[in-house]
Chains A and B, each alone.
Chain A
Amino acid sequence: MDSLISITNLNKSYGSKKVLSGVDLSLSAGQIVGLVGPNGAGKTTCLQAILGLTDFDGDISVLGHHPRKDRVKMLNDVAYISDVAILPKWLKVSQALSYMQDIHPNFDLEKAEEFLAKTNIANNDKVKALSKGMVAQLHLALILAIDAKVLILDEPTLGLDILTRRQFYTHLLEDFYTEDKCIVVTTHQIEEIEHILTDVAFIQQGKIVLAQSTDDIKERFNLVAVTSEQVPQADELQPLFKNSMMGLTTMLFDNQDKETLQGLGKVSVPSLADVFVGVMNKETC
Protein backbone atom coordinates (compact mmCIF):
# COMPACT_ATOMS: atom_id res chain seq x y z
CA MET A 1 0.00 0.00 0.00
CA ASP A 2 1.40 3.43 -0.93
CA SER A 3 2.26 5.75 1.92
CA LEU A 4 0.33 9.00 2.22
CA ILE A 5 2.90 10.29 4.69
CA SER A 6 6.46 9.10 4.73
CA ILE A 7 8.93 10.36 7.34
CA THR A 8 12.58 9.31 7.20
CA ASN A 9 15.21 10.24 9.76
CA LEU A 10 13.41 13.37 10.93
CA ASN A 11 15.52 15.52 13.23
CA LYS A 12 14.78 18.85 14.77
CA SER A 13 16.61 20.95 17.34
CA TYR A 14 15.85 24.23 19.07
CA GLY A 15 19.32 25.58 19.72
CA SER A 16 21.22 22.85 21.53
CA LYS A 17 18.02 21.07 22.58
CA LYS A 18 17.21 18.09 20.40
CA VAL A 19 13.43 17.84 20.03
CA LEU A 20 13.14 15.11 17.39
CA SER A 21 15.73 12.47 16.84
CA GLY A 22 15.73 10.06 13.90
CA VAL A 23 11.96 9.73 13.58
CA ASP A 24 10.83 7.22 10.95
CA LEU A 25 7.13 6.75 10.24
CA SER A 26 5.05 5.64 7.33
CA LEU A 27 1.30 6.24 7.24
CA SER A 28 -1.07 4.80 4.68
CA ALA A 29 -4.67 5.25 3.61
CA GLY A 30 -7.20 3.79 6.01
CA GLN A 31 -5.02 4.29 9.06
CA ILE A 32 -6.07 6.28 12.12
CA VAL A 33 -2.81 6.78 13.94
CA GLY A 34 -2.46 7.99 17.49
CA LEU A 35 0.80 9.81 18.12
CA VAL A 36 1.10 9.51 21.86
CA GLY A 37 3.73 10.80 24.21
CA PRO A 38 4.22 12.73 27.43
CA ASN A 39 4.39 16.54 27.45
CA GLY A 40 7.48 17.79 25.66
CA ALA A 41 8.03 14.49 23.84
CA GLY A 42 8.00 16.21 20.42
CA LYS A 43 4.47 15.36 19.21
CA THR A 44 3.49 18.87 18.18
CA THR A 45 6.89 19.55 16.61
CA CYS A 46 6.55 16.34 14.62
CA LEU A 47 3.10 17.37 13.36
CA GLN A 48 4.32 20.88 12.59
CA ALA A 49 7.15 19.43 10.53
CA ILE A 50 4.64 17.26 8.64
CA LEU A 51 2.58 20.39 7.96
CA GLY A 52 5.59 22.47 6.90
CA LEU A 53 5.08 24.88 9.78
CA THR A 54 8.63 24.44 11.03
CA ASP A 55 11.94 23.63 9.35
CA PHE A 56 13.55 20.23 9.93
CA ASP A 57 16.34 17.89 8.92
CA GLY A 58 15.47 14.63 7.19
CA ASP A 59 12.88 13.70 4.59
CA ILE A 60 9.14 14.12 4.79
CA SER A 61 6.76 13.43 1.95
CA VAL A 62 3.06 14.16 2.35
CA LEU A 63 1.01 12.98 -0.64
CA GLY A 64 4.19 13.33 -2.66
CA HIS A 65 4.74 16.94 -1.57
CA HIS A 66 7.58 18.40 0.42
CA PRO A 67 5.83 20.14 3.33
CA ARG A 68 8.07 23.22 3.25
CA LYS A 69 8.46 23.63 -0.50
CA ASP A 70 4.90 22.71 -1.59
CA ARG A 71 3.01 23.73 1.54
CA VAL A 72 0.10 25.41 -0.25
CA LYS A 73 -0.40 22.56 -2.75
CA MET A 74 -0.13 20.04 0.06
CA LEU A 75 -2.74 21.87 2.17
CA ASN A 76 -5.31 21.42 -0.59
CA ASP A 77 -5.47 17.78 0.50
CA VAL A 78 -4.39 18.01 4.11
CA ALA A 79 -6.59 19.38 6.89
CA TYR A 80 -5.37 20.34 10.33
CA ILE A 81 -6.86 21.15 13.70
CA SER A 82 -4.23 22.25 16.18
CA ASP A 83 -6.40 23.34 19.07
CA VAL A 84 -10.12 24.03 19.23
CA ALA A 85 -9.70 27.51 20.67
CA ILE A 86 -7.76 28.98 17.77
CA LEU A 87 -10.57 30.35 15.64
CA PRO A 88 -10.37 34.15 15.84
CA LYS A 89 -12.95 35.72 18.12
CA TRP A 90 -14.02 38.40 15.63
CA LEU A 91 -15.00 35.84 12.97
CA LYS A 92 -18.67 35.21 12.19
CA VAL A 93 -19.83 31.72 11.22
CA SER A 94 -21.08 33.02 7.85
CA GLN A 95 -17.71 34.70 7.24
CA ALA A 96 -15.82 31.51 8.08
CA LEU A 97 -17.94 29.56 5.59
CA SER A 98 -17.60 32.23 2.92
CA TYR A 99 -13.83 32.46 3.36
CA MET A 100 -13.36 28.69 3.21
CA GLN A 101 -15.52 28.55 0.11
CA ASP A 102 -13.39 31.27 -1.52
CA ILE A 103 -9.94 29.89 -0.75
CA HIS A 104 -10.26 26.12 -0.50
CA PRO A 105 -10.72 24.15 -3.72
CA ASN A 106 -11.90 21.07 -1.81
CA PHE A 107 -14.32 22.75 0.58
CA ASP A 108 -17.94 21.60 0.40
CA LEU A 109 -20.14 24.43 1.69
CA GLU A 110 -23.29 22.29 1.76
CA LYS A 111 -21.60 19.65 3.88
CA ALA A 112 -20.46 22.27 6.40
CA GLU A 113 -23.93 23.82 6.51
CA GLU A 114 -25.52 20.38 6.98
CA PHE A 115 -23.18 19.70 9.87
CA LEU A 116 -23.84 23.09 11.47
CA ALA A 117 -27.62 22.61 11.07
CA LYS A 118 -27.35 19.74 13.56
CA THR A 119 -25.84 22.10 16.15
CA ASN A 120 -27.02 25.21 18.00
CA ILE A 121 -24.64 27.40 16.01
CA ALA A 122 -26.37 30.11 13.97
CA ASN A 123 -24.96 31.54 10.77
CA ASN A 124 -24.76 35.02 12.24
CA ASP A 125 -22.99 34.02 15.46
CA LYS A 126 -19.54 35.34 16.22
CA VAL A 127 -16.89 32.97 17.55
CA LYS A 128 -16.58 35.07 20.71
CA ALA A 129 -20.26 34.38 21.49
CA LEU A 130 -19.83 30.60 21.23
CA SER A 131 -18.92 28.23 24.04
CA LYS A 132 -15.68 26.28 23.79
CA GLY A 133 -17.59 23.18 22.71
CA MET A 134 -19.44 25.12 20.02
CA VAL A 135 -16.17 26.56 18.70
CA ALA A 136 -14.90 22.99 18.47
CA GLN A 137 -18.01 22.01 16.52
CA LEU A 138 -17.59 24.97 14.18
CA HIS A 139 -13.93 24.17 13.60
CA LEU A 140 -14.81 20.55 12.98
CA ALA A 141 -17.57 21.57 10.55
CA LEU A 142 -15.05 23.64 8.57
CA ILE A 143 -12.46 20.88 8.53
CA LEU A 144 -14.78 17.93 7.89
CA ALA A 145 -16.25 19.75 4.89
CA ILE A 146 -12.82 19.62 3.25
CA ASP A 147 -12.38 16.59 1.07
CA ALA A 148 -8.88 16.01 2.47
CA LYS A 149 -6.87 12.83 2.17
CA VAL A 150 -4.97 13.45 5.38
CA LEU A 151 -6.36 14.92 8.60
CA ILE A 152 -3.97 15.95 11.33
CA LEU A 153 -5.35 16.62 14.80
CA ASP A 154 -3.13 17.98 17.54
CA GLU A 155 -4.88 17.70 20.91
CA PRO A 156 -8.17 18.59 19.21
CA THR A 157 -10.37 18.10 22.27
CA LEU A 158 -8.15 19.79 24.83
CA GLY A 159 -10.27 21.48 27.50
CA LEU A 160 -13.60 20.11 26.26
CA ASP A 161 -16.08 18.23 28.43
CA ILE A 162 -16.49 14.48 27.94
CA LEU A 163 -19.76 14.76 25.97
CA THR A 164 -18.24 17.16 23.46
CA ARG A 165 -15.11 15.03 23.22
CA ARG A 166 -17.15 11.92 22.38
CA GLN A 167 -19.29 13.86 19.90
CA PHE A 168 -16.14 15.16 18.26
CA TYR A 169 -14.73 11.70 17.59
CA THR A 170 -18.12 10.29 16.58
CA HIS A 171 -18.46 13.00 13.93
CA LEU A 172 -14.90 12.39 12.87
CA LEU A 173 -15.67 8.77 12.09
CA GLU A 174 -19.13 9.31 10.64
CA ASP A 175 -18.55 12.45 8.60
CA PHE A 176 -14.91 12.29 7.58
CA TYR A 177 -13.25 8.93 7.76
CA THR A 178 -13.19 6.63 4.75
CA GLU A 179 -10.82 3.87 3.72
CA ASP A 180 -8.88 6.17 1.39
CA LYS A 181 -8.07 8.71 4.10
CA CYS A 182 -5.57 8.86 6.90
CA ILE A 183 -5.98 10.54 10.28
CA VAL A 184 -3.13 11.38 12.65
CA VAL A 185 -4.16 12.42 16.14
CA THR A 186 -2.28 13.37 19.27
CA THR A 187 -4.09 13.34 22.57
CA HIS A 188 -3.52 12.84 26.26
CA GLN A 189 -6.83 11.02 26.60
CA ILE A 190 -5.69 7.89 24.77
CA GLU A 191 -8.30 5.72 26.50
CA GLU A 192 -11.05 7.78 24.84
CA ILE A 193 -9.84 7.20 21.33
CA GLU A 194 -8.22 3.83 21.48
CA HIS A 195 -11.32 2.16 20.02
CA ILE A 196 -11.00 4.25 16.86
CA LEU A 197 -7.23 3.92 16.41
CA THR A 198 -5.85 1.43 13.90
CA ASP A 199 -2.23 2.21 14.78
CA VAL A 200 -0.25 3.96 17.48
CA ALA A 201 3.18 5.53 17.65
CA PHE A 202 4.60 6.24 21.09
CA ILE A 203 7.09 9.07 21.15
CA GLN A 204 9.46 9.85 23.98
CA GLN A 205 12.18 12.49 24.10
CA GLY A 206 11.92 12.96 20.36
CA LYS A 207 12.23 9.29 19.46
CA ILE A 208 9.58 6.86 18.31
CA VAL A 209 9.77 4.05 20.86
CA LEU A 210 6.91 1.97 19.51
CA ALA A 211 4.99 2.13 16.23
CA GLN A 212 2.59 -0.69 15.53
CA SER A 213 -0.99 -1.51 14.67
CA THR A 214 -3.34 -1.74 17.64
CA ASP A 215 -4.14 -5.35 16.71
CA ASP A 216 -0.45 -6.30 16.85
CA ILE A 217 -0.03 -4.47 20.13
CA LYS A 218 -2.90 -6.43 21.65
CA GLU A 219 -1.18 -9.62 20.54
CA ARG A 220 2.25 -8.54 21.69
CA PHE A 221 1.50 -7.16 25.17
CA ASN A 222 -0.26 -8.96 27.99
CA LEU A 223 -1.52 -7.73 31.31
CA VAL A 224 -1.34 -10.30 34.10
CA ALA A 225 -2.98 -10.08 37.52
CA VAL A 226 -0.32 -11.88 39.56
CA THR A 227 -0.99 -13.26 43.05
CA SER A 228 1.53 -12.30 45.71
CA GLU A 229 3.05 -15.84 45.77
CA GLN A 230 3.78 -15.69 42.04
CA VAL A 231 5.41 -12.23 42.08
CA PRO A 232 9.06 -13.39 42.37
CA GLN A 233 8.55 -15.82 39.50
CA ALA A 234 6.84 -13.14 37.42
CA ASP A 235 9.62 -10.63 38.16
CA GLU A 236 12.06 -12.98 36.45
CA LEU A 237 10.19 -12.41 33.16
CA GLN A 238 11.06 -8.72 33.41
CA PRO A 239 7.67 -7.03 33.24
CA LEU A 240 7.54 -3.61 31.63
CA PHE A 241 5.30 -2.30 34.34
CA LYS A 242 4.23 -3.43 37.80
CA ASN A 243 1.44 -2.03 39.93
CA SER A 244 0.52 -3.41 43.35
CA MET A 245 -2.85 -2.65 44.87
CA MET A 246 -4.82 -4.39 47.63
CA GLY A 247 -2.67 -7.52 47.58
CA LEU A 248 -2.90 -7.97 43.84
CA THR A 249 -0.06 -7.12 41.51
CA THR A 250 -0.70 -6.21 37.90
CA MET A 251 2.19 -6.71 35.48
CA LEU A 252 2.58 -5.84 31.82
CA PHE A 253 4.66 -8.18 29.68
CA ASP A 254 6.08 -7.67 26.22
CA ASN A 255 6.35 -10.65 23.85
CA GLN A 256 6.06 -13.34 26.50
CA ASP A 257 4.64 -16.78 25.94
CA LYS A 258 0.93 -16.74 26.78
CA GLU A 259 0.92 -20.18 28.39
CA THR A 260 3.73 -19.20 30.76
CA LEU A 261 1.85 -16.03 31.69
CA GLN A 262 -1.35 -17.95 32.33
CA GLY A 263 0.55 -19.91 34.95
CA LEU A 264 1.23 -16.65 36.81
CA GLY A 265 -2.35 -15.38 37.00
CA LYS A 266 -5.24 -14.08 35.01
CA VAL A 267 -4.11 -12.80 31.60
CA SER A 268 -5.99 -9.95 29.92
CA VAL A 269 -5.54 -7.65 26.96
CA PRO A 270 -4.02 -4.35 28.14
CA SER A 271 -5.48 -1.02 27.18
CA LEU A 272 -3.30 1.29 25.08
CA ALA A 273 -2.95 3.47 28.17
CA ASP A 274 -1.47 0.46 30.05
CA VAL A 275 0.94 -0.25 27.20
CA PHE A 276 1.85 3.43 27.00
CA VAL A 277 2.64 3.62 30.71
CA GLY A 278 4.62 0.37 30.48
CA VAL A 279 6.64 1.42 27.46
CA MET A 280 7.33 4.87 28.88
CA ASN A 281 8.45 3.38 32.19
CA LYS A 282 10.77 0.98 30.42
CA GLU A 283 12.36 3.77 28.46
CA THR A 284 12.76 5.90 31.56
CA CYS A 285 14.37 3.10 33.59
Chain B
Amino acid sequence: MNTAIMKASIKKELWEFNGMLKWVPITLAGVFIFIPLLSVLLNGIDMQRVIHEFGNIAQELERLTQMQQSERLGSIFFVSAIALFSPFIAIGFIVQVYYFVTCLFDERRDQSVMFWRSLPVSDGMTIASKLLTGAVVIPVIFFGAATLLMLLLLVLGIVASVILSVGYDISLWSWFASADIISGIGYIWLSLVPIAIWLLPLYSWLMLASVYANKAPFLWAVLPIVALLVIETIVVHFLNISQPFFGHFIADYFSITPDHLVNISEEQEKSRSAALQLIIAQIDYRTVLVSAGLLFSAYWFRVNKSES
Protein backbone atom coordinates (compact mmCIF):
# COMPACT_ATOMS: atom_id res chain seq x y z
CA MET B 1 0.00 0.00 0.00
CA ASN B 2 1.37 3.36 -1.01
CA THR B 3 1.57 5.41 2.19
CA ALA B 4 1.98 8.73 0.33
CA ILE B 5 -1.32 8.17 -1.50
CA MET B 6 -2.97 7.03 1.73
CA LYS B 7 -1.79 10.21 3.46
CA ALA B 8 -3.01 12.37 0.58
CA SER B 9 -6.37 10.57 0.59
CA ILE B 10 -6.84 11.10 4.33
CA LYS B 11 -5.81 14.74 3.93
CA LYS B 12 -8.48 15.07 1.26
CA GLU B 13 -11.11 13.64 3.63
CA LEU B 14 -10.08 16.14 6.31
CA TRP B 15 -10.40 19.00 3.80
CA GLU B 16 -13.85 17.84 2.81
CA PHE B 17 -15.13 17.60 6.38
CA ASN B 18 -12.92 20.42 7.66
CA GLY B 19 -15.73 22.54 9.09
CA MET B 20 -17.27 19.73 11.10
CA LEU B 21 -13.99 18.22 12.28
CA LYS B 22 -12.62 21.58 13.38
CA TRP B 23 -15.60 23.36 14.88
CA VAL B 24 -17.43 20.54 16.68
CA PRO B 25 -14.52 19.71 19.05
CA ILE B 26 -13.67 23.40 19.48
CA THR B 27 -17.28 24.18 20.34
CA LEU B 28 -17.45 21.26 22.76
CA ALA B 29 -14.25 22.36 24.49
CA GLY B 30 -15.63 25.91 24.52
CA VAL B 31 -18.79 24.68 26.25
CA PHE B 32 -16.65 23.09 28.99
CA ILE B 33 -14.67 26.30 29.47
CA PHE B 34 -17.26 29.00 29.03
CA ILE B 35 -20.39 27.51 30.65
CA PRO B 36 -18.83 27.51 34.17
CA LEU B 37 -17.43 30.99 33.51
CA LEU B 38 -20.83 32.19 32.31
CA SER B 39 -22.50 30.65 35.33
CA VAL B 40 -20.10 32.48 37.62
CA LEU B 41 -20.62 35.75 35.77
CA LEU B 42 -24.42 35.45 35.90
CA ASN B 43 -24.75 34.22 39.48
CA GLY B 44 -21.93 36.20 40.99
CA ILE B 45 -19.12 34.66 42.94
CA ASP B 46 -18.99 34.00 46.67
CA MET B 47 -15.23 33.90 47.16
CA GLN B 48 -15.48 32.75 50.76
CA ARG B 49 -17.60 29.73 49.81
CA VAL B 50 -15.41 28.84 46.82
CA ILE B 51 -12.24 29.00 48.91
CA HIS B 52 -13.92 27.00 51.68
CA GLU B 53 -15.13 24.21 49.35
CA PHE B 54 -11.95 24.13 47.30
CA GLY B 55 -9.97 24.04 50.53
CA ASN B 56 -12.04 21.05 51.72
CA ILE B 57 -11.40 19.14 48.50
CA ALA B 58 -7.73 20.03 48.61
CA GLN B 59 -7.44 18.93 52.23
CA GLU B 60 -9.11 15.61 51.41
CA LEU B 61 -6.66 15.08 48.52
CA GLU B 62 -3.75 16.03 50.76
CA ARG B 63 -5.01 13.59 53.40
CA LEU B 64 -5.21 10.77 50.86
CA THR B 65 -1.73 11.67 49.61
CA GLN B 66 -0.33 11.59 53.11
CA MET B 67 -2.00 8.19 53.67
CA GLN B 68 -0.19 7.10 50.50
CA GLN B 69 -3.38 5.83 48.89
CA SER B 70 -1.95 6.43 45.45
CA GLU B 71 -4.23 3.81 43.85
CA ARG B 72 -7.32 5.70 45.00
CA LEU B 73 -5.82 9.00 43.90
CA GLY B 74 -5.13 7.51 40.53
CA SER B 75 -8.73 6.24 40.33
CA ILE B 76 -10.06 9.69 41.21
CA PHE B 77 -8.04 11.22 38.40
CA PHE B 78 -8.99 8.42 35.98
CA VAL B 79 -12.72 8.80 36.69
CA SER B 80 -12.43 12.57 36.26
CA ALA B 81 -10.61 12.05 32.97
CA ILE B 82 -13.29 9.60 31.79
CA ALA B 83 -15.98 12.11 32.75
CA LEU B 84 -14.21 14.76 30.67
CA PHE B 85 -13.55 12.47 27.69
CA SER B 86 -17.06 10.94 27.61
CA PRO B 87 -18.87 13.86 25.92
CA PHE B 88 -16.06 14.11 23.38
CA ILE B 89 -16.28 10.36 22.67
CA ALA B 90 -20.09 10.51 22.42
CA ILE B 91 -20.22 13.56 20.14
CA GLY B 92 -17.25 12.18 18.19
CA PHE B 93 -19.25 8.98 17.63
CA ILE B 94 -22.17 10.97 16.19
CA VAL B 95 -19.72 12.76 13.87
CA GLN B 96 -18.24 9.39 12.86
CA VAL B 97 -21.70 8.01 12.01
CA TYR B 98 -22.44 11.12 9.93
CA TYR B 99 -19.06 10.83 8.21
CA PHE B 100 -19.49 7.16 7.31
CA VAL B 101 -23.02 7.63 6.01
CA THR B 102 -22.03 10.54 3.76
CA CYS B 103 -18.41 9.78 2.78
CA LEU B 104 -19.24 7.71 -0.31
CA PHE B 105 -22.67 9.21 -0.93
CA ASP B 106 -21.81 12.92 -1.24
CA GLU B 107 -19.23 12.43 -3.98
CA ARG B 108 -21.80 10.53 -6.04
CA ARG B 109 -24.49 13.12 -5.36
CA ASP B 110 -22.32 16.00 -6.64
CA GLN B 111 -20.81 13.69 -9.33
CA SER B 112 -17.28 14.50 -8.20
CA VAL B 113 -16.80 10.71 -7.99
CA MET B 114 -16.08 10.87 -11.74
CA PHE B 115 -13.23 13.29 -11.09
CA TRP B 116 -11.78 11.24 -8.21
CA ARG B 117 -12.05 8.03 -10.22
CA SER B 118 -10.26 9.63 -13.17
CA LEU B 119 -7.12 9.83 -11.02
CA PRO B 120 -4.67 7.00 -10.38
CA VAL B 121 -5.99 6.09 -6.93
CA SER B 122 -7.47 2.62 -6.61
CA ASP B 123 -10.96 2.05 -5.29
CA GLY B 124 -9.46 -0.18 -2.59
CA MET B 125 -7.28 2.72 -1.46
CA THR B 126 -10.28 5.05 -1.42
CA ILE B 127 -12.34 2.68 0.73
CA ALA B 128 -9.38 2.04 3.05
CA SER B 129 -8.60 5.75 3.48
CA LYS B 130 -12.22 6.60 4.24
CA LEU B 131 -12.43 3.75 6.73
CA LEU B 132 -9.21 4.84 8.43
CA THR B 133 -10.37 8.45 8.56
CA GLY B 134 -13.73 7.58 10.10
CA ALA B 135 -12.62 4.83 12.44
CA VAL B 136 -9.32 6.26 13.68
CA VAL B 137 -8.57 9.83 12.54
CA ILE B 138 -11.89 11.35 13.67
CA PRO B 139 -11.65 9.77 17.16
CA VAL B 140 -8.02 10.98 17.35
CA ILE B 141 -9.26 14.53 16.70
CA PHE B 142 -11.88 14.30 19.46
CA PHE B 143 -9.55 12.49 21.88
CA GLY B 144 -6.96 15.18 21.10
CA ALA B 145 -9.43 17.97 21.86
CA ALA B 146 -10.37 16.30 25.17
CA THR B 147 -6.69 15.84 26.03
CA LEU B 148 -5.92 19.49 25.30
CA LEU B 149 -8.84 20.53 27.52
CA MET B 150 -7.59 18.21 30.25
CA LEU B 151 -4.10 19.73 29.96
CA LEU B 152 -5.64 23.19 30.22
CA LEU B 153 -7.49 22.14 33.39
CA LEU B 154 -4.27 20.64 34.76
CA VAL B 155 -2.49 23.95 34.16
CA LEU B 156 -5.30 25.68 36.06
CA GLY B 157 -4.92 23.02 38.80
CA ILE B 158 -1.20 23.76 39.02
CA VAL B 159 -1.93 27.48 39.33
CA ALA B 160 -4.49 26.70 42.09
CA SER B 161 -1.93 24.46 43.83
CA VAL B 162 0.61 27.28 43.83
CA ILE B 163 -1.98 29.60 45.41
CA LEU B 164 -2.98 26.94 48.00
CA SER B 165 0.57 26.06 48.89
CA VAL B 166 1.66 29.72 49.22
CA GLY B 167 -1.50 31.18 50.75
CA TYR B 168 -3.06 28.31 52.73
CA ASP B 169 -0.18 25.94 53.36
CA ILE B 170 -1.94 23.08 51.58
CA SER B 171 0.39 21.14 49.33
CA LEU B 172 -1.05 19.17 46.42
CA TRP B 173 2.23 18.57 44.65
CA SER B 174 2.50 15.02 45.86
CA TRP B 175 -1.08 14.41 44.64
CA PHE B 176 -0.02 15.42 41.15
CA ALA B 177 2.85 12.97 41.45
CA SER B 178 0.59 10.12 42.69
CA ALA B 179 -2.38 10.63 40.35
CA ASP B 180 -0.75 8.76 37.45
CA ILE B 181 -1.92 11.45 35.07
CA ILE B 182 0.01 10.26 32.03
CA SER B 183 -0.91 6.60 32.43
CA GLY B 184 -4.57 7.55 33.09
CA ILE B 185 -4.78 9.51 29.85
CA GLY B 186 -2.70 6.79 28.17
CA TYR B 187 -5.29 4.14 29.08
CA ILE B 188 -8.05 6.22 27.54
CA TRP B 189 -6.00 6.68 24.36
CA LEU B 190 -5.23 2.95 24.31
CA SER B 191 -8.94 2.20 24.04
CA LEU B 192 -9.12 4.07 20.70
CA VAL B 193 -7.92 1.22 18.48
CA PRO B 194 -9.92 -1.58 20.22
CA ILE B 195 -13.07 0.56 19.99
CA ALA B 196 -12.37 1.11 16.27
CA ILE B 197 -11.97 -2.64 15.70
CA TRP B 198 -15.01 -3.52 17.83
CA LEU B 199 -17.22 -1.09 15.90
CA LEU B 200 -15.77 -2.06 12.50
CA PRO B 201 -18.92 -4.02 11.49
CA LEU B 202 -21.05 -0.94 12.18
CA TYR B 203 -18.70 1.36 10.28
CA SER B 204 -18.57 -1.08 7.35
CA TRP B 205 -22.35 -1.30 7.24
CA LEU B 206 -22.66 2.50 7.18
CA MET B 207 -20.13 2.70 4.34
CA LEU B 208 -22.10 0.11 2.40
CA ALA B 209 -25.29 2.16 2.88
CA SER B 210 -23.35 5.26 1.78
CA VAL B 211 -22.05 3.69 -1.44
CA TYR B 212 -25.33 1.93 -2.28
CA ALA B 213 -27.96 4.61 -1.62
CA ASN B 214 -29.02 6.87 -4.45
CA LYS B 215 -31.02 8.94 -1.99
CA ALA B 216 -31.42 9.17 1.79
CA PRO B 217 -28.38 7.13 2.91
CA PHE B 218 -29.42 7.46 6.59
CA LEU B 219 -32.64 5.61 5.82
CA TRP B 220 -30.69 2.95 3.94
CA ALA B 221 -28.48 2.58 6.99
CA VAL B 222 -31.37 2.17 9.42
CA LEU B 223 -34.43 0.77 7.63
CA PRO B 224 -32.99 -2.58 6.41
CA ILE B 225 -31.89 -3.42 9.95
CA VAL B 226 -35.24 -2.41 11.44
CA ALA B 227 -37.11 -4.34 8.73
CA LEU B 228 -34.95 -7.41 9.27
CA LEU B 229 -35.52 -7.34 13.02
CA VAL B 230 -39.27 -6.84 12.66
CA ILE B 231 -39.61 -9.65 10.09
CA GLU B 232 -37.45 -11.93 12.20
CA THR B 233 -39.51 -11.21 15.30
CA ILE B 234 -42.71 -12.11 13.42
CA VAL B 235 -41.16 -15.31 12.01
CA VAL B 236 -39.82 -16.30 15.43
CA HIS B 237 -43.22 -15.67 16.99
CA PHE B 238 -45.12 -17.76 14.46
CA LEU B 239 -42.62 -20.60 14.20
CA ASN B 240 -42.03 -20.72 17.94
CA ILE B 241 -38.25 -20.54 17.55
CA SER B 242 -36.45 -20.00 20.83
CA GLN B 243 -34.80 -16.67 19.95
CA PRO B 244 -34.24 -14.43 16.95
CA PHE B 245 -30.81 -14.96 15.38
CA PHE B 246 -30.07 -11.46 14.05
CA GLY B 247 -31.62 -9.68 17.01
CA HIS B 248 -29.58 -11.78 19.40
CA PHE B 249 -26.44 -11.38 17.28
CA ILE B 250 -26.68 -7.57 17.20
CA ALA B 251 -27.63 -7.25 20.88
CA ASP B 252 -24.91 -9.65 21.97
CA TYR B 253 -22.19 -8.00 19.89
CA PHE B 254 -22.87 -4.37 20.69
CA SER B 255 -23.79 -4.63 24.37
CA ILE B 256 -21.24 -5.18 27.09
CA THR B 257 -23.23 -7.60 29.23
CA PRO B 258 -22.49 -9.24 32.62
CA ASP B 259 -21.68 -12.44 30.67
CA HIS B 260 -18.53 -10.76 29.50
CA LEU B 261 -17.76 -9.42 32.93
CA VAL B 262 -17.41 -12.99 34.20
CA ASN B 263 -14.25 -13.32 32.16
CA ILE B 264 -12.71 -10.29 33.80
CA SER B 265 -11.08 -11.03 37.09
CA GLU B 266 -12.01 -9.02 40.17
CA GLU B 267 -8.60 -7.43 40.28
CA GLN B 268 -8.73 -6.36 36.66
CA GLU B 269 -12.26 -5.09 37.05
CA LYS B 270 -11.10 -2.59 39.59
CA SER B 271 -8.15 -1.55 37.55
CA ARG B 272 -8.13 1.07 34.83
CA SER B 273 -7.69 -1.58 32.18
CA ALA B 274 -11.08 -3.16 32.92
CA ALA B 275 -12.91 -1.07 30.32
CA LEU B 276 -10.21 -1.82 27.79
CA GLN B 277 -10.40 -5.55 28.57
CA LEU B 278 -14.18 -5.49 28.14
CA ILE B 279 -13.94 -3.94 24.70
CA ILE B 280 -11.21 -6.35 23.62
CA ALA B 281 -13.37 -9.25 24.86
CA GLN B 282 -16.09 -8.18 22.40
CA ILE B 283 -13.76 -8.55 19.42
CA ASP B 284 -13.94 -12.02 17.89
CA TYR B 285 -14.42 -13.89 14.61
CA ARG B 286 -17.74 -12.06 14.06
CA THR B 287 -15.87 -8.75 13.86
CA VAL B 288 -13.62 -10.07 11.12
CA LEU B 289 -16.25 -11.95 9.10
CA VAL B 290 -18.98 -9.31 9.14
CA SER B 291 -16.58 -6.41 8.53
CA ALA B 292 -14.79 -8.21 5.70
CA GLY B 293 -18.09 -9.09 4.01
CA LEU B 294 -19.52 -5.60 4.31
CA LEU B 295 -16.31 -3.84 3.28
CA PHE B 296 -15.92 -6.07 0.25
CA SER B 297 -19.54 -5.26 -0.71
CA ALA B 298 -18.83 -1.54 -0.35
CA TYR B 299 -15.73 -1.96 -2.53
CA TRP B 300 -17.68 -3.97 -5.11
CA PHE B 301 -20.37 -1.30 -5.39
CA ARG B 302 -17.71 1.39 -5.66
CA VAL B 303 -16.12 -0.45 -8.57
CA ASN B 304 -19.25 -1.60 -10.36
CA LYS B 305 -22.02 0.88 -9.62
CA SER B 306 -22.59 3.08 -12.65
CA GLU B 307 -22.64 6.78 -11.79
CA SER B 308 -23.62 8.40 -15.05
- Chain A residue at smallest Cβ distance from B307: A53
CA distance A103 to B8 in the complex (A): 7
Chain A residues near B121 (CB, 8 Å)?
72, 103
**Given A44-B308, A86-B111, A88-B115, are A104 and B12 also a contact pair (CB < 8 Å)?**
no
- Chain A residue at smallest Cβ distance from B2: A103
Interface presence of B174 (CB below 8 A): no
**Given A75-B119, A76-B120, A86-B111, are A92 and B308 also a contact pair (CB < 8 Å)?**
no
Q: How many contacts between A and B, using CB within 8 angstroms?
A: 71
CB distance from B288 to the nearest CB of A (A): 27
**Given A48-B308, A86-B111, A88-B115, are A72 and B120 also a contact pair (CB < 8 Å)?**
yes
CA distance A75 to B107 in the complex (A): 20
- Chain B residue at smallest Cβ distance from A75: B120
The A interface is mostly helix, strand or loop, or mixed, namely: mixed
Interface presence of A223 (CB below 8 A): no
Interface presence of A273 (CB below 8 A): no
Contact B308 A103 (CB under 8 A): no
Contact A80 B118 (CB under 8 A): yes
> Pick the contact of B115 from A48, A87, A98 — CB < 8 Å?
A87
Which size bracket describes the interface of A in this complex?
Answer: 20 to 34
Chain B residues near A86 (CB, 8 Å)?
110-112, 114-115
CA distance A104 to B308 in the complex (A): 24
- Chain A residue at smallest Cβ distance from B111: A86
Interface presence of B11 (CB below 8 A): yes
Interface presence of B285 (CB below 8 A): no
**Given A44-B308, A102-B8, are A88 and B120 also a contact pair (CB < 8 Å)?**
no
Chain B residues near A99 (CB, 8 Å)?
8, 11-12
CB distance from A73 to the nearest CB of B (A): 8
CB distance from A102 to the nearest CB of B (A): 4
Contact B15 A95 (CB under 8 A): yes
Interface presence of A85 (CB below 8 A): yes
CA distance A16 to B16 in the complex (A): 39
**Given A91-B15, A99-B12, are A83 and B114 also a contact pair (CB < 8 Å)?**
yes
- Chain B residue at smallest Cβ distance from A88: B112
CB distance from A2 to the nearest CB of B (A): 22
Contact with A along B289-306 (1 / 0, CB 8 A): 000000000000000101
Q: A87-B112, A103-B5, A103-B9 are in contact. List 7 more A-B contacts (CB 8 A).
A: A53-B307, A86-B112, A88-B107, A91-B16, A98-B11, A102-B8, A104-B120
Give 6 pairs: A residue, B residue, CB < 8 Å, sorted on A.
A72-B122, A79-B118, A82-B115, A83-B114, A85-B111, A86-B114
